[in-house]
Amino acid sequence: MIYLNKISELIRVGESQTIEFKSSFDRETVESLVAFANTSGGTVLIGVADDGSVKGVTVGKGTLNEWLGQVKSSTSPSIIPDLESVVVDNKTVVIIRVGEYPVKPVNTKGKYFKRIASSNHQLGLSEITDMYMQSLQLSWDAYEASKENLDVLSIAKIEEFIESVNKHGRFTLDNSPLLALEKLKLITNNHPTWAALLLFAANPLRNHIHIGRFKTPSMIIDDRQITDTLFEAVEQSMKFIVSHISVAFSFDGSLQRTERFAYPLPALREVLLNAVVHRDYANASDIQIKIFDDRITIFSPGTLYGGLTIDDLKTDTYQSRTRNKLVAEAFYLTNNIEKYGSGYIRIRKELEAYSEIVFSVEEMGGGVLVIFRQSGGVNEGVNEGVNALFNVIKSRPGLRTPELASRIETPPKTIERWLKELKKKNLIIFKGADKTGGYFVRTED
């Protein structure tokens, strides 16, 4: 039994990650229950409007059983929620509660949802796959590549890996290449796993890193597509990055000179490793690295995994989950990464000595975009960004926020802040309907 004071408190707090208000029971009610079941559970209050006002709902003798039947019949696997009616302000409110479902994802009529903040988000195919794998504690890279034989693996690369693992002391491997991979579950049923192919294939899988040096978004100075096994791809990418960023030298009176690169190399490497280890390899898109005069952007296919959010990454206590468990294990054993989600903590630590760098992370375009932006200070960096945005709107009128974000390689939330600034200065105007219109330079009336 839910006590009235608790119901009143839920209504006062408002809709959230675990609370939804509905004036009546309908299809969207079932979608909310599915979203709760696919996230961390939640409660729907029927008879409460979006603004929190109690409207009440008419409930007959068999209404609750009828609603329960509708939820069970329209969800797969079937959800069986708890239903209870209470009287609030002389009006009937029905509480429908569902816990987190143990085997996810749940769907309703073929549609899958999860709860983000106070709204339901419909899942795409890759998100459905991720949720299923995570629910069963599976990892795509641990599946055997059943059509491939072990002779597709490079023994030389495996031997280098074994040497590196034994050198760093986190694990001890047999010197026999195939026995070592079996020990790490990189070989199963006498076939390589997808992780083994990503790490050691003699002819690497075509998961590219597309990297370039840009003068402007449309002017490319140098361009390279790296197609190699993962350890080698990381090293090649870092060499390209280092060759295209400036370095200053200083002397402290000794015979040794001190180098200071324009960006902290350990932080760049950490972001690159995150992109390679945690990307969605079922996504055909490339990792994209773009080096400009004033910024470096790194895009990794696949959104954050396991319920992790951008806000979580800003804390020192976030708990990460691994999309590619065997790939992550291999990079951990060779001392390239830590297993416990400390990557962004180390990035922030490295950036402490680079106050001129503005660092941002954003989910966009089905992936994660990381930006290291140079500026003489935060205000100067913002002004440069606002000016760049204004010039894009001037040259390409009618673009919307996602298109503008893509044009100048900047997260949509940052674009929205800059758009507000331009509108405040009366320099731009939005024309058209909310869903189809775009931004234009304001002309004299």
Cβ contact 185:142 at 8 Å: yes
pLDDT digits (tens, 9 = 90+) for 68-104: 999 999 999 999 999 999 998 899 999 999 999 988 8
| Confidence at residue 251, expressed as pLDDT on a 0 to 100 scale | 58
Angle at 275 between CA 274 and CA 279, to 5 degrees: 110
Strands 357-364 and 367-374: antiparallel
Was domain 378-441 assigned CATH 1.10.620.20?
no
Coil, helix or strand at residue 199: helix
The CA distance from 65 to 100, in Å, is 21
pLDDT digits (tens, 9 = 90+) for 282-322: 888 999 999 999 899 999 999 888 778 888 888 888 877 78
| Confidence at residue 380, expressed as pLDDT on a 0 to 100 scale | 44
| Confidence at residue 280, expressed as pLDDT on a 0 to 100 scale | 92
Helix (H) or strand (E) holding 187: strand 187-188
Cβ contact 28:100 at 8 Å: no
- DSSP type of residue 152: G
- DSSP type of residue 193: B
pTM over 0.95: no
Strands 287-291 and 209-216: parallel
User: Low-confidence residues of the chain, pLDDT below 70?
Assistant: 1-5, 250-257, 339-340, 376-384, 444-445
Contact residues for 254 (Cβ-Cβ < 8 A; gap 6+): none
- Tokens representing 46 are 């029927």
Coil, helix or strand at residue 12: helix
Domain boundaries, the chain: 4-123, 145-280+303-349, 378-441
CATH tag for 4-123 (out of 3.40.190.10, 3.20.20.70, 3.30.950.30, 3.30.470.20): 3.30.950.30
Look up tokens 């009287």; give the residue: 87
The CA distance from 251 to 258, in Å, is 6
The CA distance from 67 to 81, in Å, is 10
- DSSP type of residue 286: P
Query: How crowded is residue 77: how many other Cβ atoms within 10 Å of its Cβ?
Result: 14
The CA distance from 221 to 213, in Å, is 5
**Pick from 110, 32, 96, 23: which is nearest to 66 by CA?**
96
